Amino acid sequence: MLLLEIQNSQLTIDYQDIEVFLASRIDMDNLVSLCKRRGLIFQSSEIYGGINGFWDYGPYGVTLKNNIKQFWWRRVVQWRDDVVGLDTSIIAHPQVWVASGHVAHFSDPMIDCKKCKRRFREDDLFGGTEGPHEKEIVSKEKIKETKCPECGGELTPPRQFNLMFKTHVGALEDEGSVAYLRPETCQSIFAQFKNTQIVSRQKIPFGIAQVGKSFRNEIAPRNFIFRSREFEQMELEFFVKEEESTRWYEYWVKERFQWFVDLGIRKENLRLREHTKEELAHYAKGCTDVEYQFPFGWSELEGIADRSTYDLNQHMKTSGKDLNYFEEETKAKYVPAVVESSLGVERTLLTVLCDAYDEEEVKGEKRVIMRFHPEIAPIFLAVLPLSKKLEPSAKKIDTGLKKHFTTDFDVAGSIGRRYRRFDELGTPFCATYDFDSETDHKVTIRHRDSMQQDRIAIDHIETYLRDQLKK
Ligand code: GAP
């Protein structure tokens, strides 16, 4: 692996990905520095030298992230009759992770250098792409032949390293008080299946969705925010009759692909990759990843899986509680199968950033634009008085529109510089208040993508912008 220092941010790149990375180096370089410069993403604890695998989201990053979560929630929960939401605790009863198999199996094989003590993921040294944990371990002969890429030292055999963060609940720090920060949000959905089904009066087929933090003590966090140790997931568990699971699995693969297209991601940068039989967990009937062509190669964005009745059965076995579903109409009692859709907020954010980034030349000058979908842009409208003298009148417009849109107000610097700043923040519209505005009560609305300018009456700005959103 290589550690690259790009404008004070560190990026870890796989040897096998270096060619792809170098080919697109300019984009990633610019992207990382833009994220810092424009208050989207900072290195966590930067003033102390940072902490690997953790990131902080600045004033515009937090809004962009929230907008992405809302874009998902609206389409997966709010606009549907057959999905309800849930928000469960990050720390659950440790038995949840025994039932799910995480205590026994949620591990990555790792290899240490006996000389320099550096630790590597096995697949970083011996190939492999981003993917599920618990991979095959390489042969002893292959390890002997291979030397540490950092110092040439001898390597240890691979050892399984559990990726869950451990903590203690209560005053005693003994084995009995061990708890885990959740490595995925879905297990609490299964544990709360019965309560949620009863109170929501949902009938099968129906889904339970959750957005929340997950934690994995990844051995090699890398590729900016792509693989971190603290991240958020947006997960949907859709409960169906076992004999109907294939139909629903196919339905959700299509739905989820379309969601990325609706988010504005270019189709040519997206693909579906169906898992081979060898890759599938023993209980899974099918799994498809939505992948994106990142500057470091095609990588997993989301997994859609037909998980059969495995999860609910495991929790029934471990808890001793009945999680069967009772079908009123037929009086039948059965364990539903689950079709899961699981994606990371940060991976979606990185996808949005990579896909929206654009550069063009305007009148001999470089213009950097983030072409965000207007629904997720961190600022929807920037109100810009042409001169300081016009600030009070322009501020009134901003205050009025704040109730309807995410707005920003900027009076500093030339109008050209301000346009460039808002282009980089992906602001779809700027409203410029000039000296004529005092008499004609109109502003100039500038479109981010086409740079077209329309003169619009102040009273009509809200309607005008709403109409633009419908286009
Ligand atoms: N419940 C199934 C599950 O968690 P997963 O493939 O381990 O499956 C699902 O994770 C999604 O969560 C991934 O497709 C990715 O978008 C996101 N994700 C997983 N590990 C991540 C990490 N270390 N950093 C950022 N996102 C991660």
Q: Which atom of ligand 1 is nearest to the CA of 302?
A: 14
**Residues 66-91, mean pLDDT to the nearest whole number:** 98
Three-state DSSP class for residue 289? strand
What's residue 122's pLDDT? Answer: 86
Contact 300, 289 (CB under 8 A): yes
Rounded distance from Cα 101 to ligand 1 centre (Å): 16
What's residue 20's pLDDT? Answer: 46
Query: Residue 9: pLDDT band by 50, 70, 90 thresholds?
Result: very low
- Taking 80 as the threshold, does the pLDDT of residue 196 lie above it? yes
**Residues 102-114, mean pLDDT to the nearest whole number:** 91
Q: For 283-319, what is each residue's pLDDT tens digit?
A: 999 999 999 999 999 999 999 999 999 999 999 999 9
For residue 341 and ligand 1, the question of a CB distance below 6 A is answered with: no
For the record, the structure tokens of 14 come out as 């796989």
Kindly report the average pLDDT of the chain as a whole number.
Answer: 91
- Taking 50 as the threshold, does the pLDDT of residue 257 lie above it? yes
Query: Residue 229: pLDDT band by 50, 70, 90 thresholds?
Result: very high
Rounded distance from Cα 343 to ligand 1 centre (Å): 6
Three-state DSSP class for residue 360? strand
Rounded distance from Cα 233 to ligand 1 centre (Å): 7
Higher per-residue confidence, 206 vs 138: 206
**Residues 260-270, mean pLDDT to the nearest whole number:** 97
- Give the predicted TM-score (pTM) of the model: 0.89
Spell out the long-range contacts of 272-281 with Cβ–Cβ below 8 A and sequence spacing 24 or more: 273/298, 273/300, 279/131, 279/132, 281/132, 281/307, 281/310
For residue 301 and ligand 1, the question of a CB distance below 6 A is answered with: yes
Residue to mutate, 231, 236, 311, 352, ligand 1, most ligand atoms under 8 Å from C-beta? 231
Of residues 68, 35, 17, 65, the one with CA closest to residue 220: 17
What's residue 159's pLDDT? Answer: 87
- Taking 70 as the threshold, does the pLDDT of residue 7 lie above it? no
Query: Which residue, judged by its Cα, is nearest atom 15 of ligand 1?
Result: 344
Rounded distance from Cα 59 to ligand 1 centre (Å): 25
Domain ranges of the chain: 2-24+59-99+173-353, 107-162, 379-470
Rounded distance from Cα 337 to ligand 1 centre (Å): 21
For residue 286 and ligand 1, the question of a CB distance below 6 A is answered with: no
Please give the Cα distance from 12 to 151 (Å, whole number).
Answer: 17
Rounded distance from Cα 232 to ligand 1 centre (Å): 9
What's residue 264's pLDDT? Answer: 96
Higher per-residue confidence, 461 vs 33: 461
What's residue 457's pLDDT? Answer: 98
Helix, strand, coil content of the chain in percent (nearest 5): 35, 30, 35
| 287: number of Cβ within 10 Å | 21
Q: How many CA atoms lie within 13 A of 160 on its CB side?
A: 13
- Taking 60 as the threshold, does the pLDDT of residue 23 lie above it? no
Measured at the CA of 81, the angle between CA 463 and CA 304, to 5 degrees, comes to: 100
Rounded distance from Cα 263 to ligand 1 centre (Å): 19
What's residue 160's pLDDT? Answer: 87
Query: Residue 29: pLDDT band by 50, 70, 90 thresholds?
Result: confident
Please give the Cα distance from 410 to 264 (Å, whole number).
Answer: 27
The domain made up of 2-24+59-99+173-353 has a fold known as BirA Bifunctional Protein; domain 2 (3.30.930)
For residue 69 and ligand 1, the question of a CB distance below 6 A is answered with: no
Q: What is the CATH number of domain 379-470?
A: 3.40.50.800
Contact 414, 366 (CB under 8 A): no
What's residue 432's pLDDT? Answer: 98
Give me the sign of the Cα torsion angle 451, 29, 49, 230. Answer: positive
What's residue 11's pLDDT? Answer: 54
Query: Residue 132: pLDDT band by 50, 70, 90 thresholds?
Result: very low
